[in-house]
Structure 1
Amino acid sequence: MSQPTSGARPDRRPAIVLVSAEYSDRMMAEFCRYERDYELHAARSHAEASAVIGELVAAGVPIALFAADSRLPDAPILAAFADWRAAVPTSRRVIIAPVERFTGDAPGLRIGMATGKYDAYLLLPRGPRDEEFHHAITDLLSDWGSTVPDPEALTAKIIAPPNSLPALEIRDFFDRMGMPNRRYDPDSEVGHHVREQFPADVDYPLVWSMVRDPIAPRSVSDVARSIYGTPDAVSVPGVVDLAVIGAGPAGLAAAVYGASEGLSTVVLESGAIGGQAGTSSMIRNYLGFPRGISGMRLAQRARNQALRFGAQFFTGWPVLGLEAGAPHELITDGGRVRARSAVIAAGVRYRKLGVEPIEALVGSGVNYGAALTAARELEGRDVVVVGGGNSAGQAAVHLARFCRSVRLVVRRSGLEETMSSYLIGEISFTSRITVQTDARIVDGGGDPSLEWVCLEDQRTGERQTLPVAGLFLLLGAEPQTDWLPSSLARDDHGFVLTGRDVPQSAWDGGLPPPDLASTVPGIFAVGDIRAGSMKRVASASGEGASVVPLVHRWLADAPAVSTP
């Protein structure tokens, strides 16, 4: 039994299923505030709930949330969740325990949350206006809403034929920016309406946005610029205190702490806010978010926080060059930004697989990175994820919500060296995911999109051909630093050297630069682009915060700069 999404009934609201033998009425009364937007269905047992689920699935009604008592009369709650997850893998799952059982049941159940068997463990409210409880519920509903193929409230409409690579990249950008969107066929009613606003010779994709006039973009940068403007279209002071290149976790942290401490701060990002971390469907081990948080939501909250303190963001403008001096100048196609100090937080890109037939299908079933938009397009299909890091693990878990099967291919003999324990546990629990170690992709093909891949066992040389509709490649870090000045030292792989890793010939008076400082005074590096970084979201955020005191110290001692 699987849940249809694209074919959901337009005349039915999404459903919330409440399950408790003793507290069904109380749960229904507590959830009545959601009745305007969701159908509420109550059941008193695992069997009764399963029957309700079957009826909803048959009717094409999406199920957003299962909320169940910690004890059911006819099944252990985790076994019940496993059954319901198999029926509706996209739904969120929460255990609601009454006060007399909340503490006693917790030790045996909380381990299940760590392995992804459910999403939250909550206390049944004992009175009205338990907003802490409802904050958790609305968070889960919001997470569910961000993954449905057809959101109700749209920020953007993309008109393009199926399998359009530019359209897929634009949708992925909107998803990572937290902007609900939908693709429409050119022959649809919406497609015809938007098409009428363009000359006949303009090609697809076309983008209608509620915040700008319709455009016919040729790249994601065109979309970003149409929404967020250009450096020379926005008032930027002659010389800012701090320019941050890149808006992943490290750059966002530098922007928040720099702007909050009174530095005039500008952030330039070539793509979507959040960097690679922005594609993570759920980060469960980030400090302060016990129920986890998606990379997109973490990034957008950090961006809003930086904006509140006065930071300025320019999205869709890659920095093409950096001229070191007093001040430093950041060069983009849209203008120059002059800054007394600069923090390089541009992150890294995934390494290429290097298998020519696979490279030829990028955008047609083959994706570098998690490509969360593509996941929704592959509902009920078989896919392969290549990579052994946390990003690959998170992608596999997310894809398993939609795809019939997910094969995680790893070159190493196991996941323990490169992946967090909580993710390994969640993967082992997810029946749709198969882990294949000591293997690599050696071939693939399809017309017009990916139809098969060939795996090679690195121990035996044996090859296996699998029919697949999607391939997601998360192959490790490769910095893009050719735009940096030659005076800024990098290691043999192109990562920026800082602190004690800087060549001793560049030390001052026998002393190395501060930990995050580069060989160029006033230029710092944080996050994945820095040599020796940990390649984790939390460590990148920590470096972004830690670099601001170093910037302050530099600015205090730096010579004054002239302004035009």
Structure 2
Amino acid sequence: MAAPAPDPLILLVSGEQLDVMVEQFHRYDREYDVRSATSAAEATALLEQARAAGQPVALVATESRLPDTDVLHALHAWRTLVPTARRLVLIPVERLAEESVALRPYLRKGKFDTYHVLPQARRDEEFHHAVTDLLNDWGATVAINEVDTVRVIAPDARPMALAVRDLLDRTGMPYRVYTPDSPQGQEALAKVDGEPSYPLVHLTAAVWGEAPVLSPRSTRELAAAFYGRPSDIDCGEVVDLAVVGGGPAGLAAAVYGASEGLSTVVVESEVVGGQAGTSSMIRNYLGFPRGISGQRLGQRARVQAIRFGARFFTGWPVVELRPAQDGAPHVLVTEGGDVRARAVVVASGVAYRRLGVAPLEDLVGAGVNYGAAMTAAREMEDRDVFVVGGGNSAGQAAVHLARFARSVTILVRREDLSSTMSQYLIDEITWNPRITVRPCTEIVDGGPDETGQLGWLQLCDVRTRAQERVPAGGLFLLIGAAPHCDWLGESVLRDDHGFVLTGRDVPRERWIDGRPPESLATSVPGVFAAGDIRAGSMKRVAAASGEGASAVSLVHAHLERLRAATTA
């Protein structure tokens, strides 16, 4: 019988405050291996031992002053040694004013994850909230789940298996991966009739009854198995608000709509969280000073909306909008059933543009990835990885990938990142020794290695057209927004790029009584647009959330007009 995996390490480092730190971290002893060191040198030795033994390191918490070296030098060395570990600096209260100012620029540059005042008494729950935030972040992106509500059975890291794992990661579903010859794999195979088609997905939790084994052909099929079909809605029911898309804009519309008493349904084609849900860490979202992953933000918003009564149907793309006519409601058509609604908020977001290099399109899922999939990032350990894109999503992806990959190279066609990326991310990238930026560069070719995975890229300087072939173990493409909303039909007007027109951008001939639609209203009364799908939007998470919330007030006004027309 295999020995149990070692508990993740929490390492406490301090010369003068170690007793306080040990007392505070005593509550984590049951589930973590909490050890202490009185110097940076001793801490480095313990981390080297843990790495050699294969013990995961979840957190290094260090006092802001160490007896044998500057704390920033120590943090840099520890990040190189255990790059996936989270790093917390603790400052005694009497030194807080001085040292927090001195450390702040290095926090912004990503030298460590956060700092906090050293607790002065027991039950400092604000301190422990910071600690559990870091451990939660580590557990969501690095750790192997202790439980397996879902088991993924696959002989190798084939594209569909990685796609399933990414969906489970983004939905927060606890899972583990097993090979077909493992005991867990054999248990699942015993439930399969005929030749298995991998990956198999074994639903082991009691909530699924007799533990069915699925062989999904797409992630949408698996999501639908988890969350149900739109036809579960009574076909005679007309809801007040139907939201298309479960990204930040759609989630905000669902929370505000449901909380204000509107019967609300959200139809999401893939995974709640949208494109933002693939972000490993959003650091500039209001109210989260230590940052929050897109996955956790999406999950929390979904739970919040459900508590107010909103219903979610995931895995069902809308294929057609039939606008309201002659007093009938709007109809959203999906392959799983129709949703009838008095008002619709279109918040379906955008997808990343395709690279357009045919040999690399053939390797999607085999080292080539659109978006910043956290699952694929874990597969990049000790590889040389490339990220294409100059926006915040690309920067966040590069920082996250640097925790695993040997090197990360950001490729951009521009001279630098200053016009497209937030400064805090540029600073963090500049100070990360594993990340380099290669400007004025595009990819013109690429191909597999002997295993069929991505093996090389052909890079081209856009100024001189000089080319270079480089080895590559992974490619992550985050290259701008492409709307996909042909399902809206011709009645909802869009601009030349396919983004939905709202407010004064709607052509004058579609105005009613000479007045333009409201700011988030489309050319169809009762249909609104919010977030990245809307022409002129800011393409930021906070802006999308604000638009989704704002759209609900317009929905109320529309419903009031419908009631007035009915009683007139």
Normalising by structure 1, we get a TM-score of: 0.96
Q: State the Cα distance separating 1:551 from its structure 2 match.
A: 0.6
Q: State the Cα distance separating 1:389 from its structure 2 match.
A: 0.4
Give distance in 2, aligned partners of 1:351 and 1:323: 28
Q: State the Cα distance separating 1:237 from its structure 2 match.
A: 6.7
Helix, strand or coil: the match of 1:174? helix
Which is further off, 209-218 or 239-248? 209-218
Matches within 5 A, 1:66-465: 66-148=60-142, 150-209=144-203, 210=205, 211-212=207-208, 213-234=212-233, 238-325=237-324, 326-447=328-449, 448-465=452-469
Give distance in 1, aligned partners of 2:3 and 2:377: 21
Give distance in 1, aligned partners of 2:322 and 2:386: 43
Query: For residue 5 of structure 1, what is the aligned residue in structure 2?
Result: none
Q: Name stretches of at least 5 consecutive residues in structure 2 with no aligned partner.
A: none
Give distance in 1, aligned partners of 2:44 and 2:13: 10
Give distance in 2, aligned partners of 1:287 and 1:236: 40
Percent sequence identity is 59
Helix, strand or coil: the match of 2:262? coil
Q: State the Cα distance separating 1:46 from its structure 2 match.
A: 1.1
Which is further off, 186-195 or 459-468? 186-195
Amino acid at match of 2:199: P
Give distance in 1, aligned partners of 2:564 and 2:375: 48
Query: For residue 477 of structure 1, what is the aligned residue in structure 2?
Result: 481
Query: For residue 548 of structure 1, what is the aligned residue in structure 2?
Result: 552
Deviation per CA, 1:16-49: give whole Å up to 9, x if none: 0101100111111110100001111111111111
Give distance in 1, aligned partners of 2:68 and 2:561: 71
Query: For residue 468 of structure 1, what is the aligned residue in structure 2?
Result: 472
Query: For residue 510 of structure 1, what is the aligned residue in structure 2?
Result: 514
CA 1:188–1:351 in structure 2 vs 1: closer, same or farther (change >3 Å)? same
8 Å contact kept, 2:233–2:339: no
Q: State the Cα distance separating 1:168 from its structure 2 match.
A: 1.0
Give distance in 1, aligned partners of 2:218 and 2:354: 21
Give distance in 2, aligned partners of 1:122 and 1:559: 54
Give distance in 2, aligned partners of 1:250 and 1:417: 25
Give distance in 2, aligned partners of 1:150 and 1:200: 31
Which is further off, 424-433 or 210-219? 210-219
CA 1:561–1:353 in structure 2 vs 1: closer, same or farther (change >3 Å)? farther
Which is further off, 378-387 or 207-216? 207-216
Helix, strand or coil: the match of 1:353? coil
Q: State the Cα distance separating 1:11 from its structure 2 match.
A: 3.7
Which is further off, 472-481 or 51-60? 51-60
Helix, strand or coil: the match of 2:141? coil
CA 1:236–1:130 in structure 2 vs 1: closer, same or farther (change >3 Å)? farther
Deviation per CA, 1:518-541: give whole Å up to 9, x if none: 000000000000000011101000
Q: Which runs of 4+ in 1 moved over 3 A?
A: 8-11, 234-237, 559-562
Amino acid at match of 1:245: V
Give distance in 2, aligned partners of 1:561 and 1:282: 47
Give distance in 1, aligned partners of 2:234 and 2:382: 49
Query: For residue 503 of structure 2, what is the aligned residue in structure 1?
Result: 499
Give distance in 2, aligned partners of 1:512 and 1:161: 58
Amino acid at match of 1:49: A
Helix, strand or coil: the match of 1:171? helix
8 Å contact kept, 2:147–2:176: no
8 Å contact kept, 1:350–1:476: yes
Give distance in 2, aligned partners of 1:404 and 1:180: 28
Give distance in 1, aligned partners of 2:388 and 2:265: 36
Q: State the Cα distance separating 1:235 from its structure 2 match.
A: 5.1
Helix, strand or coil: the match of 2:486? coil
Across the two proteins, how many residue pairs are aligned to each other?
Answer: 555
Amino acid at match of 1:397: V
Deviation per CA, 1:362-402: give whole Å up to 9, x if none: 11111111111011011111111100000000000000000
Amino acid at match of 2:44: S
Give distance in 1, aligned partners of 2:141 and 2:277: 14
Amino acid at match of 2:157: N
Normalising by structure 2, we get a TM-score of: 0.96
8 Å contact kept, 1:163–1:363: no
8 Å contact kept, 1:528–1:535: yes
RMSD: 1.5
CA 1:385–1:90 in structure 2 vs 1: closer, same or farther (change >3 Å)? same
Helix, strand or coil: the match of 1:67? strand
Deviation per CA, 1:95-115: give whole Å up to 9, x if none: 111111112211000221112
Give distance in 1, aligned partners of 2:398 and 2:560: 47
Give distance in 1, aligned partners of 2:353 and 2:456: 21
Amino acid at match of 1:524: F
8 Å contact kept, 2:367–2:453: yes
CA 1:226–1:263 in structure 2 vs 1: closer, same or farther (change >3 Å)? same
Amino acid at match of 1:401: R
Amino acid at match of 1:96: L
8 Å contact kept, 1:351–1:478: yes
Give distance in 2, aligned partners of 1:535 and 1:110: 28
CA 1:9–1:524 in structure 2 vs 1: closer, same or farther (change >3 Å)? farther
Give distance in 1, aligned partners of 2:236 and 2:268: 18
CA 1:315–1:477 in structure 2 vs 1: closer, same or farther (change >3 Å)? same
Deviation per CA, 1:295-349: give whole Å up to 9, x if none: 0000100001000100000011111111001300000111111000000000011
Query: For residue 3 of structure 1, what is the aligned residue in structure 2?
Result: none
CA 1:236–1:154 in structure 2 vs 1: closer, same or farther (change >3 Å)? farther
Query: For residue 492 of structure 2, what is the aligned residue in structure 1?
Result: 488
8 Å contact kept, 1:408–1:435: yes
Query: For residue 49 of structure 1, what is the aligned residue in structure 2?
Result: 43
CA 1:11–1:529 in structure 2 vs 1: closer, same or farther (change >3 Å)? closer
Q: State the Cα distance separating 1:125 from its structure 2 match.
A: 1.1
Q: State the Cα distance separating 1:9 from its structure 2 match.
A: 7.7
Query: For residue 539 of structure 1, what is the aligned residue in structure 2?
Result: 543
8 Å contact kept, 1:324–1:485: no
Q: State the Cα distance separating 1:187 from its structure 2 match.
A: 2.2
CA 1:149–1:161 in structure 2 vs 1: closer, same or farther (change >3 Å)? farther
Amino acid at match of 2:88: V
8 Å contact kept, 1:327–1:561: no
CA 1:368–1:62 in structure 2 vs 1: closer, same or farther (change >3 Å)? same
Q: State the Cα distance separating 1:232 from its structure 2 match.
A: 1.7
Q: State the Cα distance separating 1:149 from its structure 2 match.
A: 5.1
Which is further off, 523-532 or 223-232? 223-232
Q: State the Cα distance separating 1:234 from its structure 2 match.
A: 4.8
Deviation per CA, 1:498-521: give whole Å up to 9, x if none: 001101111122221000000000
Q: State the Cα distance separating 1:548 from its structure 2 match.
A: 0.7
Amino acid at match of 1:166: M
Q: Name stretches of at least 5 consecutive residues in structure 1 with no aligned partner.
A: 1-7
